[in-house]
Amino acid sequence: MSAVAAPSVYAGGASVIAVGVLLAEFGMFRQALLRDQVRLYAAQSALISVLAVLVAAARHLPELYVLGALSAGLKVVIVPLVLRRLLRGIGRTGGQDGAGRDGAGAAADAGPGWTDIAGSGSLSVASTVLLAIAVAAFGFFAVGALDIHSPVLPPIALSISVSVSLVAFVLMIMRRDVASQAIGFLALENGISLTALVVAAGMPLILEVAFLFDLLVAVVVFELLIRVHHGRADSLSTAGLTRLRG
């Protein structure tokens, strides 16, 4: 896999999928509706599952088939379902008592666009994307300079996976509604899964399964707390979360 020779089909395909994961994350920046963001998250997770299966086939690591299937089941099907159910439930209650809501800080889900995403108050979408590109580039080159070689995937995949994680932080920081922040966290988890696939493909399956189970628990708790937040603030916006300071 030297820099001069053309990459093999496997290496090229794997890199393309890794880039796809990163692009899906950038796609999340421009989505205006939560529903679309959940869809992008599912697509991103699907890409990672495909990559797991690809590595399993090319490198003869049968455990990764199981991991790919489990992670697809959880992250492409179950988690998006949980999130959609949550958004539907919130949309219903939000629609009913939306009229009596006071306007302060509740702009995020006013009117029929109840799942509008509240972007950063200080940066436009374009500036946010520029910031994310800068962060991604930093991660990409910083990790490229490290002396860490993946046993199964081309080195570029590690750089991309770290970029995915860093961009997820931008996503979490720049969004001002609880559901998008939760999706930012899930995207971070996807970035970490990708990193795990690159540098720790041989990790025992039982641990990987435990990580996935843990993700499921976390998602359920996130969902509960989003409901709590929505129940109190009658909005997904975090603009009102300024009581505790000092």
Please report, as ranges, the residues that interact with another protein according to CB under 8 A: 146-148, 151, 165, 169, 172, 178, 181-182, 185, 188-189, 192, 195-196, 199-200, 202-204, 207, 210-211, 214, 217-218, 221-222, 224-225, 228-229, 231-233, 238, 240-241, 243-244, 246
**Smallest distance, Å, CB 170 to another protein?**
12
In 3D space, the residue among 227, 195, 228 whose CA is nearest the CA of residue 211 turns out to be 195
Q: CA 185, CA 217: separation in Å to the nearest integer? A: 14
Q: Which of residues 107 and 218 has its CB atom nearest to another protein in the complex?
A: 218
Q: Which of residues 97 and 243 has its CB atom nearest to another protein in the complex?
A: 243
Give how far the C-alpha of residue 212 lies from the chain's centroid of Cα atoms, to the nearest Å: 14
**Smallest distance, Å, CB 233 to another protein?**
7
What percent helix, strand, coil does the chain show, rounded to 5?
Answer: 70, 0, 25
Q: Which helix (H) or strand (E) holds 44?
A: helix 34-59
Q: Which of residues 132 and 199 has its CB atom nearest to another protein in the complex?
A: 199
**Smallest distance, Å, CB 185 to another protein?**
5
Q: Which of residues 89 and 112 has its CB atom nearest to another protein in the complex?
A: 89
**Smallest distance, Å, CB 188 to another protein?**
5
Give how far the C-alpha of residue 127 lies from the chain's centroid of Cα atoms, to the nearest Å: 20
Q: Which of residues 45 and 195 has its CB atom nearest to another protein in the complex?
A: 195
**Smallest distance, Å, CB 5 to another protein?**
25
Phi-psi bin for 111: left (phi > 0), alpha (psi -120 to 50), beta?
A: left
Tokens 């159910």 -> residue: 85
Q: CA 212, CA 226: separation in Å to the nearest integer? A: 21
Q: Which of residues 140 and 222 has its CB atom nearest to another protein in the complex?
A: 222
Other C-beta atoms lying within 10 Å of the C-beta of residue 109: 26
**Smallest distance, Å, CB 16 to another protein?**
23
Other C-beta atoms lying within 10 Å of the C-beta of residue 1: 12
